[in-house]
Amino acid sequence: MPYRAPVEDYRFIMEHVVPFDEVAATEKFAEATPDMVSAILGEAGRMCEEVLAPLQRAGDLHPAHLENGVVRTSPGYAEGYKAIAEGGWVSIGADPEHGGMGLPLTLTTAVNEMMSAACLSLQLNPLMTQGQIEALENHASDEVKAVYLPKLVSGAWSGTMNLTEPQAGSDVGALKTKAEPNGDGTYAITGQKIYISWGDNDFTENVCHLVLARLPGAVEGTKGISLFLVPKYIPDENGEPGRANDLKVVSLEHKMGLHGSPTAVMQYDGATGWLIGEAHDGMRAMFTMMNNARLGVGGQGIGAAEGAYQHALAYAQDRRQGRSPVAGGSGTILDHADVRRMLATMRAEIFAARSIAMACAVAIDMGHATGEADWTARAAFLTPIAKAFGTETGIRVAEMGVQVHGGMGYIEETGAAQYSRDVRVTAIYEGTNGIQAMDLVGRKLMDGGEAGAALLDEVERNAEIARDTLPDLAGAVWQAAEALREAMEALVAKAPQDRFAGAVPFLMGWARVLGAHFHLAAALGEGGEGKRTRLARFYIERMLPEHAAHLAHALAGAEGLYAIADEDFAA
């Protein structure tokens, strides 16, 4: 089934649902005119449809593999990557000083999502490079920037992020990789890293690794970690790839999905690296890359959901089975109530998750363009929601896509199962969704809920505007926002462990309310009548009520959870 980029949806969201006009009105992003936005979305959409989408099955059926120490990528991936790089899609938001377009992250978010829907395995490569570009722009020395950024921005070189070690997963502070000064301003990096997405490839001239390591005498834990740039090939005096560095790919992981994306075990044996940022301040520099990647990973989930939805819809519109329960129906399984329920749920969830991600990107752009603390706080608050809900949506929608196919969904040849296998890891990497939720109830409520309350104020103002046009929907959204406000105020007063016990349902409660808010905005944007209004009604009447259950769980506390004894978990 051919993929069709949902360009119309992005345009509508930017025109009617999120305040992208405020981004374009800033001096920093003045070039993001409606014509420019339309051209970017249209060209990127065509590239995704014509070049990347045909590679989706190839990566799954012919995985990347290690051959005599060299990573060999899936058929067509080199040509697909070339189209991404030559089109400038790696560097939409990068600084023009180094060859980037300097456009808003909101546009990057839309383009990345389209690439994810077309071929998630390949899209993961430029996503990692984009994060590295941002980290270097913010923390690297001028000398490092001059050598590396033009190459990364052009796509000639690619970037990775090296955090995890065999004994140090989410507990990054337990890492053992060490960095010894060489006496010439460089460092010798020694250690092993695992789960390195696109740790190597056979289509870029160089692969640049951002590696967390510990300097001699550094304190234990995250405060003693530094960040280093360690290239596969050390640049020569002309900035071109020179001699091979002392690093190698030990093996590639055999994964549930994303077979086209080589996930490497990397070994560093005194490899030459350059310090990025200040010594012992590596986590701050790395978080610049990780925060970029968290929104990007949320977009990966949404993209996979879009691909799975289109796949399932095409099947449902073609598959005939049983007698149609609808007079004058199509005669396909789309006539059946439960299939229709699943497809409507998939479409409604995608719109909600996409709008949350775009709202987060707008807040990040406004924070960068204006320096206003309120926008920065909003971006920080929305990031864990965008990441977790975007990826949960991907998993749920992809699984539902298999169900729409019935027995054929369980047959690999249909391609339905691939979306489910590929997207599953997105809820795990770049900080598990549980960690995102703990961040939301922890750091993001340290202001007493001020950033969250400002968001809820906006939700309620929009609901008040909608009361004349869509009174029943507006009332439901307003009441849900009030319930969420009360739950947040109660959670702020709770002890940390009680917050953590209900963190995931609290985040999902936020996602439900924000999803309803954006659906209501969409209904208003088309005048209260039309396809978006019908979808909004479906979401608000049938899905928004789930927020009450989420909030009840969120406020239940930790006591009952820990009352379950360890031995109670035994079979």
Are 110 and 17 within 8 A, CB to CB? no
3-class state of residue 320 by DSSP: coil
Tokens (6 digits) for 243? 């001699």
Q: What distance in Å separates the CA atoms of residue 391 and residue 301, rounded to the nearest whole number?
A: 4
Among candidate residues 458, 446, 440, 330, the one with its CA nearest the CA of residue 389: 440
Are 380 and 444 within 8 A, CB to CB? yes
Which residue is associated with the tokens 């007698």?
Answer: 323
Are 202 and 66 within 8 A, CB to CB? no
Strands (DSSP E) found in 421-550: none
Q: Which residues are catalytic?
A: 430
Q: What distance in Å separates the CA atoms of residue 5 and residue 146, rounded to the nearest whole number?
A: 36
Which residue is associated with the tokens 């953590």?
Answer: 500
Q: What distance in Å separates the CA atoms of residue 425 and residue 438, rounded to the nearest whole number?
A: 19
End-to-end CA distance of the chain: 44
- 446: how many CB neighbours lie within 10 A of its CB? 10
Query: Which residues have C-beta within 8 Å of that of residue 254, sequence separation ≥ 6?
Result: none
Length of the chain: 571
Tokens (6 digits) for 455? 């968001």
What angle (nearest 5°) sits at the alpha carbon of residue 156, between those of residues 150 and 160?
Answer: 90
Among candidate residues 117, 184, 153, the one with its CA nearest the CA of residue 393: 117
List beta partners, residue 209: 160, 230
Q: What distance in Å separates the CA atoms of residue 462 and residue 467, rounded to the nearest whole number?
A: 9
Kind of pairing between the strands at 247-252 and 263-276 = antiparallel
CA dist 304 to 297, 390, 398, Å? Answer: 11, 10, 7
Q: What distance in Å separates the CA atoms of residue 192 and residue 319, rounded to the nearest whole number?
A: 50
3-class state of residue 247 by DSSP: strand
